[in-house]
Amino acid sequence: MENIFSAEGLFTIDSLISLLTLSVLEIVLGIDNIVFISILAGKLPAEKQKKARRLGLTLAMFVRILLLLSISWIMSLTTPLFNVGEWIGIHSEKWLEATAISGRDLILLIGGLFLIYKSTAEIHEKLEGGEHTTGPVKPANFTRTIIQILLLDIVFSLDSVITAVGMADHIQIMICAVIIAVGVMVVAAEGISNFVNKHPTVKMLALSFLLLIGVSLIAESFEQHIPKGYIYFAMAFSVFIEMLNLKMKSKSTKPVQLHQPRLKDKDQ
């Protein structure tokens, strides 16, 4: 770890392979981030959505770089802060290990709970609409949306940073991989966002993915590791089936319309 900032051995074939591999992994790990940003930005007025997506992804990049530059602090997050098992009188070593709560566990737990809450609220709003509202609904606040994106960026970045530390020996390679991945995501974000917003069933599927990721974050916070490969395979398979469904739909068939908030006037 102490040599991670060294430039020795930086310009080698191994380093190049490490950069390419890590860049691909960073892009894959960033897909859930794009989905979350797209859904949150979709609640803003149309003219502000692109700005929110780009700002959200730029913040994600800076958050990851700052976390990479604070590797010692990141590693210290794995040190247990307290043990729930001790509080309730558990003596089994195995269970005491599982019930130890670290800073990383707390971040993952809070992030997972927030994702589940946000996804459930979004699904309810889209399906039930303004059933419980009596007047016009204000458009989402730009600043509040960006703050939500920033907070979840920190949660999403933990896996990304830990993966980077495990795969590369140089901080320069890690930072380059993050910048490349975010660059690709900025280019792809608008297309993904437009596609998600255009197809209501895809939007429901994306929200379901966020629920799944929220559950996996909570499980991870309690040391119940769900292999990422299973989660990504389930998501990829679901997307594949949905693509087939969209392909088979008759062009004359109108998709189900999700409820949209009734905006007052122009964005404030």
User: What pLDDT shows up at residue 131?
Assistant: 46
Contact 189, 52 (CB under 8 A): no
Phi then psi dihedrals of residue 145, to 5 deg: -65, -45
Sequential pLDDT tens for the chain (268 residues): 445 445 555 567 777 777 787 787 777 777 777 878 888 887 788 888 888 888 888 888 888 888 777 766 766 677 788 887 777 877 777 777 777 888 878 888 888 888 888 888 888 877 776 544 555 555 678 888 888 888 877 777 776 676 666 555 667 777 888 888 888 888 888 887 778 777 778 888 888 888 888 888 888 887 777 877 787 788 888 888 888 888 887 555 566 666 666 555 544 4
CA distance readout (Å), 251 to 5, 154, 246: 56, 41, 9
Cα distance between residue 19 and residue 36, in whole Å: 26
Yes or no: say if 259 and 129 are a contact pair by the CB < 8 Å rule.
yes
Q: Supply the Cα-derived Rg of the chain in whole angstroms.
A: 21
Q: How far apart are CA 173 and CA 255, in angstroms?
A: 45
**Is residue 155 within 8 Å of 13, Cβ to Cβ?**
no
Whole-model pTM: value is: 0.67
CA-wise closest residue to 43 among 144, 186, 135, 111: 144
